[in-house]
Structure 1
């Protein structure tokens, strides 16, 4: 059963400008340890490949946060969610810490796809739940 669907598109030119202003700190804030290693290797070969990689990961994390229904609030965080690739090239989501525990406790499973062209990176995430859907109320700040 589908728990949630998320999609995101990222303007690579805007991300490049942010990276130029903030430098490697920006990548270190968004990417997990395994992603950072891949990003550094791709960037060393060609700056444009490193920026495209960063953009696809940024986009996929945004799409994932939408699909799980939390947005970018705890336990969701940039570095607790990594978008990695199987040897075949297929992307997958690896979660760490409190986010992994939250996700597993709900019996969720995620599927992700990413793509990029010259100016844009896009991602699509489907999150499935084992068993029947369960509605979880979110706190109402006005209550």
Structure 2
């Protein structure tokens, strides 16, 4: 039976994310989103700006929630682009880590679970991190799109 090692939650106002994106239309998404997230974001934002804002907000919240769940905050090896929330084939969001963060995490924790939601004014994310014992060794999710 898996045990919980950490829980993180974050709530963000959509207009705050929208204003940051308006001030820095290229730099803000590139600072926050990983390579795969950035590809999805650009496609959604091209279809509808509000979908782009919602995607940015929920991914921002997921990164904040994850950093709280593992107890790092936004300090090394945690960095925005090293933690991505990607949808698996069925649509379920999955945590995908890279670089030094993935290596640091795999030595300390088991699987991470993320849930995202958004409404007109807010985006939110909730992350649960399992303990290392009784857990698979890798946190990267194969099959993530």
> Which residues of 2 match residues 45-56 of structure 1 at below 5 A?
45-56=47-58
Q: Is 1:59–2:24 an aligned residue pair?
A: no
- How many Å apart are 1:130 and its aligned residue? 2.7
- How many Å apart are 1:107 and its aligned residue? 3.6
Q: Which residue of 2 aligns with 1:19?
A: 21
Q: Deviations for 1:92-127, whole angstroms, at most 9, x for unmatched residues?
A: 000001000011111421000000011100000000
Q: Which residue of 2 aligns with 1:96?
A: 98
The count of aligned residue pairs is 132
Q: Find the residue that maps to 2:80 and give its secondary structure.
A: coil
Tell me how large the CA RMSD over aligned residues is: 1.1
Q: Note if contact 2:110-2:133 (Cα within 8 Å) is conserved in structure 1.
A: no
Q: Find the residue that maps to 2:81 and give its secondary structure.
A: coil
> Which residues of 2 match residues 5-84 of structure 1 at below 5 A?
5-84=7-86
Q: Which has the larger radius of gyration?
A: 1
Unpaired runs of 5+ residues, structure 1, are 133-143
Unpaired runs of 5+ residues, structure 2, are 135-145
Q: Find the residue that maps to 2:56 and give its secondary structure.
A: helix
- How many Å apart are 1:24 and its aligned residue? 1.6
**TM-score (norm. length: structure 1):** 0.90
Moved >6 Å (runs of 4+): none
User: C-alpha distance in 2, partners of 1:130/1:80?
Assistant: 20
- How many Å apart are 1:37 and its aligned residue? 0.3
Q: Which residue of 1 aligns with 2:139?
A: none
User: C-alpha distance in 1, partners of 2:108/2:68?
Assistant: 16
Q: Deviations for 1:51-98, whole angstroms, at most 9, x for unmatched residues?
A: 100000000000000000000000000000001001111000000010
